[in-house]
Amino acid sequence: MSVLAEGVARFHPASSPDYLPGEQLRQLQLQRLQAVVAHAYDHVGLFQSRMDDAGMVPGDVGTLADLARLPFTVKTDLRDEYPLGLLAVPMEQVVRLHASSGTTGKPIVVAYTKDDLKTWSEVMSRTFAACGLHAGDVVQNAYGYGLFTGGLGVHYGVEELGATVVPISGGNTTRQIMLMRDFGTSVICCTPSYFLHLIEKARDMGTDLRELPIRAGVFGAEPWTEAMRERIEVEAGIKAYDIYGLSEIIGPGVGTACEAQDGLHIFEDHFYPEIIDPVTCEVLPDGEEGELVLTTLSKIAMPMIRYRTRDITTIMTEQCACGRTVRRIKRIGRRSDDMFIIRGVNVFPSQIETALLKVEGTLPHYQIILSRVGDLDQIEVQVEVTPEVFGDTIGALERLRKKLGGAIAEIIGIRVNLKLVEPHTIARSEGKAKRVIDKRG
Ligand code: DLL
């Protein structure tokens, strides 16, 4: 069989777990859940003591609903057990470590056995299949290689699918554009904010991405809005797919958009999703918004039971037009960690992004600066504007400021200090964008 035929066969509706009939999927999930809970209980001290405290033994998990009785795992557990206290296998079975830098203190470390790496390649190739990639595609991988899971996770997924990976990593933007042209890159993988930088750099170099063979982007690792997706699709002439994942669970490959581009399918045969009320910790029914909690169903080196992601979303209830049976979550627009409170109002960066993308004359580059004057919190939003507006009259800038100020106030309910700045003023990211600078101490 040719590589193309194999790739297609592997992900054919009849054989991919993405299309398992509901009952079969639930059965598989239950079997795997029982096995992973027993594995974690037998080999990880923290899980064992938490279950003992809850008065539970692995044999108590008789149905998928019993999952809701198990204790949660949180990010600080990984920090407290730094580096490898949550390892469930002897070190001789670990073939890879990754780490997530986090914003403060020690990173969190995650480990993989050979079988875990196979699972990861599988879910990543299913991700790419859902995004319409196939053998023959030239995939430029501009996620960072190294301890970050983005680079290597994408890398092996592309190879597993049978497409060509160009392992360029992040940064060196001029070279990215040269290779995109010379190699006939058909798909780019990076953070959405880095892709915005690429579009801009290409334009500065006199290259219009719409005239290159690139037809799709596989973007994730940070929140981005639907409005940003539309902007990227128009400006680069590509389809922009959203992919989701986190180091604690596996890296990228937890969920992906498909051709219908309406939410992200979770690879439920490996990662079981629940939505909880972040305050009461009650499990919410599908269709309600809350915090995503994930349980790994097949991870061996470092299983995670009911990991609280801090990501806010909703499990969608309708069947997807693409025919996949694995459930979908809505685009993750916000993390509970990203929320800041200004004058008693909860604000998420994505709300600012939605507002500014509605107003003509602005560029999709912005930053939010929080400070304190006396006892009062201040919020300043810096937004780049197009060269045309910037070079226009003071009156034109003033009109734009009013319009944008109004659009932001309409969404978040308070007025912000707006600073309209020249193009290229705000620092560009090569990985995850830093949208908020908090100087409040
Ligand atoms: O960012 C893994 C990844 C790499 C995902 C490449 C997609 C592509 P961490 O560094 O551990 O892992 O960060 C995980 O990033 O909990 C979310 O808050 C956020 N995140 C990841 N993907 C998305 C997305 C990788 N598509 C954290 N939309 C997660 C919104 C995302 N947020």
Q: pLDDT value at position 418?
A: 97
**pLDDT of 220-264, one tens digit each?**
999 999 999 999 999 999 999 999 999 999 999 999 999 999 999
Number of structural domains (the chain) is 2
Largest CA distance in the chain: 73
Q: Which of 133-142, 278-287, 383-392 has the lowest mean pLDDT?
A: 383-392
Domain boundary among 336, 356, 386: 336
Buried b vs exposed e over 41-53: b needs ≥16 C-beta within 10 Å?
Answer: bebbebbeebbee
Section 158-178 average pLDDT: 98
**Is the pLDDT score of 13 beyond 70?**
no
Closest residue (by CA) to atom 28 of ligand 1? 223
Buried b vs exposed e over 209-237: b needs ≥16 C-beta within 10 Å?
Answer: beebebbbbbbbbbbbbbbbbebbeebbe
171 & 299 share domain: yes
Ligand 1 centroid distance, CA of 219 (Å): 10
317 & 368 share domain: no
State the pLDDT confidence band at 1, using cuts at 50, 70 and 90.
very low
Q: pLDDT value at position 3?
A: 40
Ligand 1 centroid distance, CA of 293 (Å): 14
| 363: containing domain | 340-438
Domain boundary among 281, 314, 336: 336
State the pLDDT confidence band at 211, using cuts at 50, 70 and 90.
very high
Structure tokens, 394: 């003071």
Give the whole-number percent of the chain exceeding pLDDT 90: 91
Closest residue (by CA) to atom 21 of ligand 1? 221
**pLDDT of 32-61, one tens digit each?**
999 999 999 999 999 999 999 999 999 999
Q: pLDDT value at position 14?
A: 56
Q: Give the domain CATH number at 354.
A: 3.30.300.30
Supply the mean pLDDT for the chain.
95
Interhelix angle 3-10/114-130, nearest 10 degrees:
90
* CB atoms closer than 10 angstroms to residue 324: 23
282 & 360 share domain: no
Q: Give the domain CATH number at 79.
A: 3.40.50.12780
Ligand 1 centroid distance, CA of 325 (Å): 23
219 & 310 share domain: yes
315 & 359 share domain: no
202 & 256 share domain: yes
Which position has the token pair 């602005």? 362
Atom of ligand 1 nearest to the CA of 254: 5
State the pLDDT confidence band at 12, using cuts at 50, 70 and 90.
low
284 & 349 share domain: no
Ligand 1 centroid distance, CA of 244 (Å): 5
Domain boundary among 336, 360, 390: 336
Q: How far, in Å, CA of 18 to CA of 12, rounded?
A: 9
373 & 311 share domain: no
143 & 201 share domain: yes
Atom of ligand 1 nearest to the CA of 331: 28
DSSP annotation of 427? P
Atom of ligand 1 nearest to the CA of 223: 30
**Is the pLDDT score of 7 beyond 70?**
no
318 & 354 share domain: no
**Is the pLDDT score of 4 beyond 50?**
no
